[in-house]
């Protein structure tokens, strides 16, 4: 079957901004401590009246508008999130209702920080199989709601937001705009990143995650490029999960994408889990930092110690 492509992007963040100085008034930390260890300066935080599906719907609406489409054009909605507190209706169904869609298939994917790249691959597969023609793919998380605001090692990391992509089938004879996915996990290390308990709380083993990400992931990311038929040197941009600047920069360097723009949205947005990749990509495109059609590596990693990546052509 014909491949698929990303035709438009959109993102949304809550208005409230939490600075490092704000956090220093809440826990034993400082701007210097946070920036030197994780590179984050600010993050956006949603209020109690801003549920995850609202963030997701705002991003989805922007992506649809950028694509010149209306909600009725979408036949599949995929929402990647790990912060859906209510189990049913799922986030995808809630988003579809908010956007006024009529009869789309609607599914959530919980692969935590690599959720968006898993969802993007699922959208591509659905289009290739002929079970969908136009897909709205959203990564959305409200990490502030599950943060332990007394734990300075984790609360300084998190932010809230959503990013979205519209995916559609390529025309006959058109080159695929979404390359093959390479995905997997390390189940025996799944405990290294957790969202557990009642109420659920985010916790992680920071050093274990750092060592895994900086040593094991660069070779996998290079294999993603190989599957797509591009070299790291040909990449126009690299958008990694925005976990921590001390992870993003060494991993990007080890990939060898010497000519690429490296997304560093984590500095302004914090770790937004499944939202981080589409949000960072949407901002790069909005600012005109990537040319249309240029190859971009998307690579998600994190919770479950899972990973998924693909090379796409920039819309």
> Any idea which residues carry the catalytic annotation?
113, 241, 271
- Comparing C-alpha atoms, which of 101, 135, 140, 104 is closest to residue 120? 135
Residue ranges in the chain assigned as alpha helix (H): 20-24, 31-37, 52-67, 91-99, 115-129, 152-155, 206-228, 245-255, 266-269, 276-286
- Cα distances (Å, whole numbers) of residue 204 to 60, 157, 304: 30, 11, 11
Question: Which residues have CB under 8 Å from 192's CB, separation 6+?
Answer: 204, 205, 208, 209, 212, 305
Burial tier of 175 (Cβ tally within 10 Å: 0-12, 13-18, 19+): exposed
């Amino acid at each position: 079957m014909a491949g698929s492509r990303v035709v438009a992007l959109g993102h949304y963040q809550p208005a409230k901004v939490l600075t490092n100085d704000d956090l220093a008034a809440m826990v034993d930390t400082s701007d210097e401590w946070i920036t030197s260890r994780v590179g984050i300066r600010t993050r956006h935080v949603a209020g109690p009246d801003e549920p995850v599906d609202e963030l997701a719907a705002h991003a989805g609406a922007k992506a649809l508008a950028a694509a010149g489409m209306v909600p009725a054009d979408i036949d599949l909605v995929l929402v990647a999130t790990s912060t859906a507190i209510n189990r049913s209706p799922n986030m995808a169904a809630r988003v579809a209702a908010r956007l006024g869609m009529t009869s789309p298939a609607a599914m959530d994917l919980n692969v935590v920080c690599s959720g968006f790249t898993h969802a993007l691959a699922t959208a591509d597969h659905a289009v290739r199989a002929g079970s969908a023609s136009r897909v709205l793919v959203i990564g959305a998380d409200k990490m502030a709601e599950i943060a332990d605001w007394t734990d300075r090692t984790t609360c300084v990391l998190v932010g809230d937001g959503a990013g979205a992509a519209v995916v559609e089938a390529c025309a006959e004879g058109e080159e695929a705009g979404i390359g093959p996915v390479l995905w997997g996990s390390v189940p025996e290390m799944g405990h290294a990143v957790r969202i557990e308990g009642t109420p659920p709380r985010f916790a992680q083993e920071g050093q274990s995650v750092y060592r895994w990400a900086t040593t094991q992931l660069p070779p996998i990311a290079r294999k993603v490029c190989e599957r797509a038929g591009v070299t790291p040197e040909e990449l126009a941009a690299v958008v990694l999960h925005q976990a921590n600047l001390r992870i993003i920069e060494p991993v990007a360097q080890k990939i060898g994408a010497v000519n690429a723009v490296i997304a560093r949205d984590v500095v302004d947005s914090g770790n937004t889990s499944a939202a981080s990749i589409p949000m960072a990509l949407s901002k790069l495109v909005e600012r005109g930092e990537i040319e249309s059609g240029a190859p971009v590596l998307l690579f998600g990693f994190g919770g479950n110690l899972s990973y998924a990546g693909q090379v796409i052509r920039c819309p």
